[in-house]
A and B are shown apart, each in its own frame.
Chain A
Amino acid sequence: MGAQTAVMQENAGRAGPDLNTQALRTDARRESLRLLALLSPSLLLVFAIIIVPIGWLFWLSLFDEAGGFSAANYARFFEQASYIKTFVTTFKVAFIVTGACVLLGYPLAYMLSQLPRRAASICLIFVILPFWTSVLVRTYAWLVILQRKGLINSWLIDLGVISQPLSLANNLSGVVIGMTHILLPFLVLPLYASMKTIDTDCLRAGMNLGAGPVATFRQIFFPLSLPGLASGVVIVFVLCLGFFVTPALMGGGKVNMWAMRMEQTTSLYSNWGAGAALGVVLLVVTLALLGLFQWLLGARATGVWSSR
């Protein structure tokens, strides 16, 4: 401190553009260090729990079982039919679930955006509550509803619609229904938020110009809601790719998805190299999809900007 004052006094006597530059630079550095100190515990934790293990796993994935440096762990994905089947299943489920979420979520978000505020916030509770309810609880609920002796089957049999129970759980349909239920809020919430920002005056103008409700929706509202829809779709799709709990509990061992494959390879067979390779590819695909989306949205946003 004393030394610093001395430096300052010395500098103060000297006129010129570099007055106190050194002291100010030191001060700026100290301020940055203070902010870094606030950040460092969080950054350290994230670094230790996410970056280090993933980096380590990536390193492991570059070696084959004999310990030699090779791409065997990755080449396997193209060679073994079981891996290919896993990827196909995963993407199939992801597409179906995302599609189902769009079909169910778009009308819901549209309705919410058109309701008066009070009604909308009450309805929103029904979206947010499941969002914050444990995935396990909701998966369990669907097991109860869909299984062989579950609610749906017993109702249908009681009503005489069917005589043999339908197999709804422990197969693809169970997984799709459960995942759709769990991921639907991830689509509805961003979509609703973006729909709320659509200017009603814009729509009113459309109707005043003679467009009917359907035309107004198709030509004005729907295009304006697309960015929100796109971000919901990307989130849901990406979450599907790495989903574990529901397929593990509701797939009945028949729906083998990417995350389950990772769990089996590491926990059951302790093949860390192979499991790690699966994880690395999953991460890359996830980041690529998110990056692509960001890029498209960014390009679109600037496009709108420059056309103004």
Chain B
Amino acid sequence: MSIAPSALPIGMRGIEKRFGSVPVLRDLNLDVEAGEFLTLLGPSGSGKTTLLMILAGFVRANAGSIRVGGDEIITTPPHKRNIGMVFQNYALFPHMNVFHNIAFPLKQRGVAAAETAERVEKALDLVKLQGLGERRVDQLSGGQRQRVALARAIVFEPRIVLMDEPLSALDKGLREHMQIELRALHRRLGMTTVYVTHDQREAITMSDRIAVMNGGRIEQLDKPESLYARPQTQFVASFIGESNFIPVECRNGSVWYEDRRIHTAAATPAAGQYLMVLRPEKLRLLATAEPTSGVNVLNATLSDIIYQGDSFVCYAVLRDGRQLTLRDYCRSDVLAKMPAPGQPVSFGLDAQDTILVAAD
């Protein structure tokens, strides 16, 4: 990936935001690297939009520091921040045509007419809207509007681009297509991008790194694959991918589930209560006779099997009443081991797939 010369890192420190007395962001710290595509992922109400608005300068934090490059910008007015922004509803100017929408930031900067025309043309090319400059905004489809908003946000070569759920108003097919295009555009231009979504698939598809937000805090900041493989909190484990949890205890340097020792690949954490993350696709159906050295075995009662064509999902209940879910492909060797609902069943989990997170 080429880092555009104008791309700058962002450092956020101790951001606090309250609406009235309700805290929305609490002592939030986040570093975005220059040229990085970073996604804020979290459930609705977790404070993603608020953080983005604070970055853009539309909402004032109660405390905190935002440094772009070396400069503190927390009190800089929005029009001096040089940050491109794409809103969820695009916020195109309906009284201007596509050309004038995209030329707007250039006009504010006093760019000459000839250069403006050239740069708008280039931006239209980038978002694949060649020749649509004279269209009125209300003559565009949703996808085209999205592209105009994007072109407008990047035409002035901002240091940073912010996007708040920009694809959520598009239908599924178009959304997936735009995800790939946005990603390609980012690769090409390399601007520092902060992207907001509540859709984990979208985040995983597009991002260099993902900051998972919950209740106004960042729970974990990591690469998409690490978030999945090594969630650090129960929230992250349940928000990214599917999981069941069982309580385990660390004592004397080993991990115990009830009276059974759990094999782990990683070093055993400090003594205390933890939760073991059980991903449905990491569990295996074990035949009773199978040797189990180095594999954690969970004995349960099968409650239901749902076939989904190429794969199936098993639901089982542990002795303590907790639910377990297992997903696997419909291979004949697997199907051969399958007991009937109501019968005992053994699930295996390899030591290297064993994840422990702190109990919330």
Binding site for B on A (CB under 8 A): 4, 8-9, 11-12, 15-21, 23-24, 26-28, 31
Contact = CB atoms under 8 A, between A and B. Distances in A.
Interface residues of B, number: 14
13 contacts: A8-B75, A11-B65, A12-B65, A12-B67, A16-B14, A17-B63, A18-B63, A19-B63, A19-B65, A20-B72, A24-B60, A24-B64, A24-B75
A21 B65 contact: no
B74 A20 contact: yes
Given A19-B65, A20-B65, A23-B74, 4 more contacts: A8-B72, A8-B74, A26-B75, A27-B60
Nearest to B16: A17
Interface of B: 13-14, 16, 27, 60-65, 67, 72, 74-75
Leading 8 A-B pairs by shortest Cβ distance: A19-B14, A21-B63, A27-B75, A19-B65, A12-B65, A19-B63, A12-B72, A8-B72
A16 B60 CA distance: 18
B60 A20 contact: no
From A9, A17, A20, A28, residue with most partner B Cβ within 10 Å: A20
Contacts of B60: 24, 27-28, 31
Contacts of B16: 17
A31 B65 CA distance: 19
B36 to A, nearest CB: 22
Nearest to A22: B63
A19 B75 contact: no
A232 to B, nearest CB: 36
A26 B62 CA distance: 11
A72 B14 CA distance: 65
Contacts of B75: 4, 8, 20, 23-24, 26-27
A9 B63 contact: no
Nearest to B27: A17
A174 to B, nearest CB: 52
A17 B74 contact: no
Contact of B74 (A16, A18, A24): A24
A20 B63 CA distance: 6
B13 A15 contact: yes
A19 B12 CA distance: 11
Contacts of B64: 19-20, 24
Contacts of A17: 14, 16, 27, 63
A129 B13 CA distance: 61
B63 to A, nearest CB: 5
Contact of A24 (B13, B27, B61, B67): B61
Contacts of A8: 72, 74-75
Contacts of A4: 75
B38 to A, nearest CB: 21
Contacts of A31: 60
A154 B272 CA distance: 103
Nearest to B73: A8
Contacts of B72: 8-9, 12, 20
B56 to A, nearest CB: 15
B63 A15 contact: no
A11 B65 CA distance: 9
B92 to A, nearest CB: 27
A64 B63 CA distance: 59
From B27, B62, B67, residue with most partner A Cβ within 10 Å: B62
A12 B75 CA distance: 12
Contacts of A24: 60-64, 74-75
Contacts of B13: 12, 15, 19
A48 to B, nearest CB: 33
From B13, B27, B63, B64, residue with most partner A Cβ within 10 Å: B63
Contacts of A20: 61, 63-65, 72, 74-75
A15 B62 contact: no
A9 B70 CA distance: 11
Nearest to B11: A12
A305 B16 CA distance: 34
Nearest to B67: A12
A40 B13 CA distance: 37
A21 B74 contact: no
Nearest to A23: B75
B54 to A, nearest CB: 10
A8 B75 CA distance: 9
A277 to B, nearest CB: 43
A150 to B, nearest CB: 53
Nearest to A9: B72
A24 B65 CA distance: 10
B79 to A, nearest CB: 14
B57 to A, nearest CB: 10
Contacts of A16: 14
A178 B70 CA distance: 74
A271 B75 CA distance: 58
Nearest to A25: B62
A22 to B, nearest CB: 9
B315 to A, nearest CB: 36
B203 to A, nearest CB: 28
A239 B63 CA distance: 51
Contacts of B67: 12
Contacts of B74: 8, 20, 23-24
A239 B23 CA distance: 46
A15 B72 CA distance: 14
Nearest to B63: A21
A221 to B, nearest CB: 37
A37 B334 CA distance: 75
A97 to B, nearest CB: 45
